[in-house]
Structure 1
Amino acid sequence: MLHIEQVAYYAQESSKELNITKYDIYGSAIEETSIEVDRGNPKQLQVSNRSSVIVRVWNKNGRIGVTTTTDLDKIGIKLALQTAKDASYFGVQEHVPDFSPEASAVIESISTKISTSTPIPVLVNTLIAAEKTLLKSSPIITSIPYNGLSQENITRFYLNSNSALRQEDLSYTTIYFYSRTEAEGKKPRGASSIKISRDFATLDIECCLQELIEKTLSHLNYQSVPSGKYTVIFSPTAFLSLINSFTNLFNAQNILDKQSLSTTGSLGKQISATLFSLYDDARHINNVGMETFDQEGTPTRRVEIINNGILTGLLHSENTAQRLNSKPTGHANIGSKVTIRPHFYHILSNEKSNSKYDLNTVKDVVFVDKLQALHAGVNSLQGSFSLPFEGWLVNNGNFVSIDAATIAGDFLTLLNSIIHIESEPEITSKGICPRIWVDNLSITGN
């Protein structure tokens, strides 16, 4: 078990010996168990206990050195401090990061804890039984080539030479499946499903299985879709994955580096349809990976990014907030360069219900369930995307799987082409989002 007070003591004593007056340390310790099965037999079992620590030291000239270590004992911490001090003489001289002004601020109490680990035999038997259920559900589901059940216990901490000291514990359990079908005269098809929970006891395995079966069978009878412009409905997972591919739009570091679709003058301007609002909310009750502070020790919070189509906020680190006369928002990752990452999205709409947008009555609408090849099909600096996807062509409530197709467009144009946001939100691992209707998107068929 990690004892943060002991690490802080080691750092304090070592810094005195090394004549270091300013430093900070962020670290985590992770215990993980993961398993895979294949046709009723364990295929892979991994158990790991690992730690990762980032140490930053400021020298007397105000320059900063950074190093990493996996050793949390006295010798490891001292060596890391010495290495970071040596590196500081080669550190940057402009826009040098500093301590967050909120590193010692009081954090609103949120209950996060380490869950009791489930015995490995229970995990193995659970996954074997789930695989058996899937294979028995239909003769065309011939295998579950990718599957897994894992549990992680994580302890995170931050401390600095100004007596800041933070620690939190969290746990989560994940189960996922990917199916494969074999049917005469048909191409092999498949589908995926994943569920995440704070502990094994609350993991909704039955829902995961049912979702996978329904998706797999719905893709068996497929057809080509003619190329053209379509009204497209994005599933919550698909839309959030697209948002996540264009975070430079509201990432303050990207804006300062001129690697963004936005500029420093974009705040206050309309960038999407007026019915669309976007927040980042690390502390949302449904965020399984809830974090109460970032790697600079800044408390996390709910951050308004887009409000009724207007860009109203950015995600900040200490350094970007200082340079843009703002406040840090709790999104910093420290390292050789401080970066910024989102936590958990929440999409809202000011739109009233509209019976015009009903899957039971619309015709020739494309439903995008999952976007693929996001690593290759997105040009985040140009704002363009061209992505294969899994989905259906919808006519009067009838869903027909699309054989193979690509969706393409410009992200900012897409945001401004949103015509409807459904009222029922869905909880995903990336955030809370309803289904999003977008007009006039290009689909290229087989």
Structure 2
Amino acid sequence: MPKIDDIATQAKDSASKLGIKKFDIYGSTVDENSVQVDQGEPKQVKASNRSSVIVRVWNDENTVGVTSTTDVNQEGLELALKTAYEASFFGAKEHVPDFSPEASIPIEDSSENKTAQAPVSQLIDKLIHAEKELLDAHPAIKGVPYNGLSQRDLDRFYLNSDDAVRTESRSYASIYLYSKTEEEGKKPRSAGAFRISHSLDDLDIPGCLKEAAQKTISHLNYEKVKSGKYRVVFSPEAFLSLLGAFSNLFNAQSILDKQSLSTAESLGTSIASPLLCVADDARHPDNVTATTFDGEGTPTRRVELITNGTLSNFLHSVGTAKRMNQKPTGHGNIGAKVTVSPHFYHVYPGVAAEQEYSLETAENVIFIDDLQALHAGVQALQGSFSLPFDGWMINKGERISIESATVAGDFLELLKSIIFLEKEAELTPGGICPRVWVEELSITGE
């Protein structure tokens, strides 16, 4: 991709030539290579370089047209601007998007954070070695059917006709390992682990290996669970996946579209146990994929969503903030329609719990490690869920894997039933969170 300054100059020249006074452009390019292996041999090697540019143009009637392109040379930009300008005359006349009032505010930590990519041969060697160690961890582990090691360079930019220019560059490396067992007379059992870091050298491959092996082995001895009401402990990843499934709670666009469990009047009301605090923090120090600005050029920031059980803020784009008389929060994604989405959740304890709990001493609790089928088992507008899960029945520190079960409940009731958040938080792909204890949920066994 050409340099951002060159793109800005070319865009302005093309806009002037076409008589366009107001426009903005958001773009990104991803340079990625990844490998998969199977029984000690490379299974798949992929390399890709993907670019995406979205152009918005406003006409004199202040309606907007949007188009996308992958071509950011002079001719490509001119064609995109022309197409968007022509489309602008068919644009919506209500709630027309506008530039972010914060698009030109300086961002301190927007410096480039890139590392050199390692050769693909090194990726293959590391993944083959990891697969072998996982297969050797226990005789019952017969395969690692899902695995991958990848590295990615990401460049993003935003510019507009009011001379706002933003750019950032990041590098990431990630690995996932998902192993499967085979034992005579027993059902296959499986488990996985994932790690992400800024570079391949910093990637915690041994930790990923250890977690995948321990989880898989712990599921070998399994039993049925009786259906009933149980005290439930969510792993950090499981709780964040459920929180993400009901993110319409905080999404201002969903609220305005009447597709949310919240309303504009919900701010300041109690929606959860006072033990719970939730923030969205794109620039959290532990967030490897931190981003400093959104698709509209608004700087990202920490937004407190639930404070001691009280709904304290919504996530906004420029348009939703204007309609709800708030400030944009840096969560807008531009396209044919501007959407709103979270970045990185930070869940932490609020008011001190009356009693602390521990998996080492708890009796007959269900520990849910991984929730499945969220696309099918969540009724986001009703607040209900019924989801299969991987987990264990825990009794005084002893873990017995659950053969097959589902957990069901109402999400808002779940939030109010939280009785404890452990002190130690864990980093997951979706955020940072401790284990979360819930007083009671319905568990259905076979």
Q: Which residue of 2 aligns with 1:35?
A: 35
Alignment partner, residue 140 of structure 2: 140
RMSD, matched Cα: 1.0
Residue identity opposite 1:247 in structure 2: S
Who is 2:84 aligned against? 84
Instruction: Name the amino acid aligned to 2:376.
Output: A
* Map of 1:383 onto structure 2: 383
Amino acid at match of 1:307: T
Could you tell me which amino acid in structure 1 is paired with residue 345 of structure 2?
Y
Counterpart amino acid of 2:320?
T
Match in the other structure for 1:190: 190
Secondary structure at the residue paired with 1:27? strand
The CA deviation at 1:72 is 1.1
Q: How far, CA to CA, are the matches of 1:356 and 1:284 in structure 2? A: 27
Pairing of 1:45-444 with structure 2 (within 5 A): 45-352=45-352, 356-444=356-444
Q: CA deviation at 1:256?
A: 0.5
Which secondary structure does the structure 1 equivalent of 2:19 belong to? coil
Pair 1:345–1:151, CA change in 2 (3 A): same
* Cα deviation digits, residues 240-280 of structure 1 (max 9, x gap): 00000011001000000000000010001000001111000
Mapped partners of 1:239, 1:137: distance in 2: 29
For residues 179 and 217 of structure 2, the distance between their equivalents in structure 1, rounded to whole angstroms, comes to 10
Counterpart CA distance in 2 for 1:331 and 1:238 is: 23
Q: Secondary structure at the match of 1:126?
A: helix
> How far off is 1:440 after superposition?
1.3
SS of match in other structure, 2:376:
coil
Count of residues in Structure 1 that have an aligned counterpart in Structure 2: 446
CA spacing shift, 1:323–1:427, aligned 2, 3 Å:
same
> What SS does structure 2 have at the residue aligned with 1:367?
strand
Judge conservation of contact 2:274–2:351 (CA < 8 Å) in 1. no
The Cα shift of 1:111 comes to: 4.5
* TM superposition outliers: structure 1 runs of 4+ over 3 Å: 351-356
- Say whether the 8 Å CA contact 1:2–1:155 is kept in structure 2: no
Report sequence identity in percent.
Answer: 58
Q: What is the CA distance between 1:110 and its match in structure 2?
A: 4.7
SS at match of 1:321: helix
User: 1:2: how far off?
Assistant: 3.9
Q: In the aligned structure 1, how far is the partner of 2:2 from the partner of 2:218?
A: 48
Q: Which amino acid aligns with 1:424?
A: E
TM-score (norm 1): 0.99
1:319-362 CA distance string (max 9 Å, x none):
00001110000000001110001001111113447764111221
Letter in 1 for 2:78: K
Report the secondary structure of 1:191's partner residue. Answer: strand
Which residue in 2 is equivalent to 1:21?
A: 21
Q: Distance in 2 between matches of 1:15 and 1:111?
A: 29
Q: Deviations over 1:43-90 (max 9, x none)?
A: 000111110000000111010100000011111111110110111111
Q: Write the distance in 2 (CA, Å) between the matches of 1:111 and 1:308.
A: 35
Q: Unaligned stretches of 5+ in structure 1?
A: none
Cα deviation, 1:366-420, whole Å, max 9, x if unaligned, reads 0000000011111111111110000000001000000000001111000000010
Point out the more displaced range, 353-362 or 278-287: 353-362
2:282 touches 2:291 (CA, 8 Å); kept in 1?
Answer: yes
- CA distance in 2 between partners of 1:115 and 1:344 (Å): 22
In structure 1, how many angstroms separate the alpha carbons of the residues matched to 2:304 and 2:350? 15
Is the Cα–Cα contact under 8 Å of residues 356 and 420 in structure 2 kept in the other structure?
A: no
Q: Distance in 2 between matches of 1:307 and 1:203?
A: 33
Equivalent residues of 1:351, 1:421 under 8 A apart: no
TM-score (norm 2): 0.99
Which SS does the other structure have where 1:61 is aligned? Answer: coil
Distance 2:39 2:57 in 1: 52
Change (3 A) 1:2 1:442: farther
- Contact kept, 8 Å, 2:99 with 2:318, in 1: the verdict is yes
Mapped to 1, the partners of 2:167 and 2:263 lie a distance apart of 35
